[in-house]
Amino acid sequence: MKCIKLNNGYEIPIIGFGTYKSTEGEAYKIVKKAIDVGYRHFDCAHFYENEDEIGAAFSEKIADGTVRRDDLYITTKLWNNFHAKELIMPMLKSQLKSLQLDYVDLYLVHWPFGFKKDAGLWPIDQGSEAYSDIDYLETWEGMEECVRQGLARSIGISNFNTEQIARLLNVAKIKPAVNQIEVNPNINQKKLIRFCKDRDIVVTGYCPLGRMYAYGSQDIPKPTLLDDRVIAIGAKYKKTAAQIILRYLVDLGITLVPKSTKRERMIENLNVFDFELEPSDVEYLDLLDRHVRIIIFDEFKDHKYYPFNIEY
């Protein structure tokens, strides 16, 4: 399993497995399948409302001897209703109970902006009534405590922009190890990746395959795995368009968390290290960047800590 070293010495596997958005009963099955085909890094979140099922899958695969806890790299995330410092440790403890774990490898602040505790997970119909103005610097103190108490080996952020990262680094006693952001050829994030690398923060790219399942049902950019030239590039290497895209993204020096419900595709998405892209193919993939997002979350764009009002 190829890994990248984090700023605290721990290693994170480059290809992980995404767990959003599984229908009831699906998460349990696909996580077991993913472990069987070789995934060791899993990307979870309270917001995905499936941590109980995922915990059952981990526990079964550890009990039957397929993996040991130490073989797994488990990330989960703190959702926006729980940004108050005193809520963070209890929240992580409750997520650990669902996941049937004693610690997570990585705990991320899912978004820089917070909601009121009782506003519900997705309060899009409540406008600014649902917002909390808790500063993510306060949230970070609670995250640091999770490391001190041994509940999380590393902590990090997700969907933070450069100004927010710089502000956090000014005060952090424990530096964020990871920033998880959207990365795919429609938004290759080279500038934000550079900014993070210069500060010893590893980027994890989400929606690396452009969230195929949502295409057509929402106003989202056409996934680049449907691009004719990407498909033709794949044929040249005897690889699929998905493998071309994942390899291109891996070569940006980041980790990725693609998701698939299908065994063959799970295997395909892991097997991206046995070929190299020629410079002319990389040049074409670079040209696909239009800095357009799938995940905009613009219902909350007037929140004080909304991250996408600046370019990156």
Ligand X SMILES: NC(=O)C1=CN([C@@H]2O[C@H](COP(=O)(O)OP(=O)(O)OC[C@H]3O[C@@H](n4cnc5c(N)ncnc54)[C@H](OP(=O)(O)O)[C@@H]3O)[C@@H](O)[C@H]2O)C=CC1
Residues that bind ligand NHF (CB under 6 A): 20, 45, 47, 110, 295, 297
Burial of 23 (0-12, 13-18, 19+ CB in 10 A): exposed
Site string for ligand X, 201-220 (x = CB under 6 A): -----xxxxxxxx-------
User: Binding-site residues for substrate, please?
Assistant: 110
Cβ atoms of residues 259 and 211 within 8 Å:
no
| 271: partner contacted, choices ligand X, ligand NHF, none (Cβ within 5-8 A by kind) | none
**Contact of residue 297 among ligand X, ligand NHF, none (CB under 5-8 Å per partner type):** ligand NHF
- Residue 307 interacts with, from ligand NHF, ligand X, none (CB under 5-8 Å by kind): none
Nearer to ligand NHF, 47 or 113 (CB): 47
Give yes or no for residue 295 binding ligand X (CB under 6 A): yes
| Shortest CB 190 distance to ligand NHF, Å | 22
Buried b (16+ CB within 10 A) or exposed e, 268-294: bbbbbeeeebeeebeebbeebeeeebb
48 part of the active site: yes
| Nearest distance from C-beta of residue 64 to ligand NHF, angstroms | 30
Residues 45-104 interacting with ligand X (rule: CB under 6 A): none
Calculate the CA dihedral of residues 273, 270, 203, 45 and round it to 10 degrees: -170
Binding of residue 231 to ligand X (CB under 6 A): no
d(CA 116, CA 80): 8
Quote the least distance from Cβ 68 to ligand NHF, whole Å. 28
> How many Cβ atoms sit within 10 Å of the Cβ of residue 65?
7
Q: Among 19, 50, 81, 189, which residue interacts with ligand X (rule: CB under 6 A)?
A: 19
Catalytic residues: 48
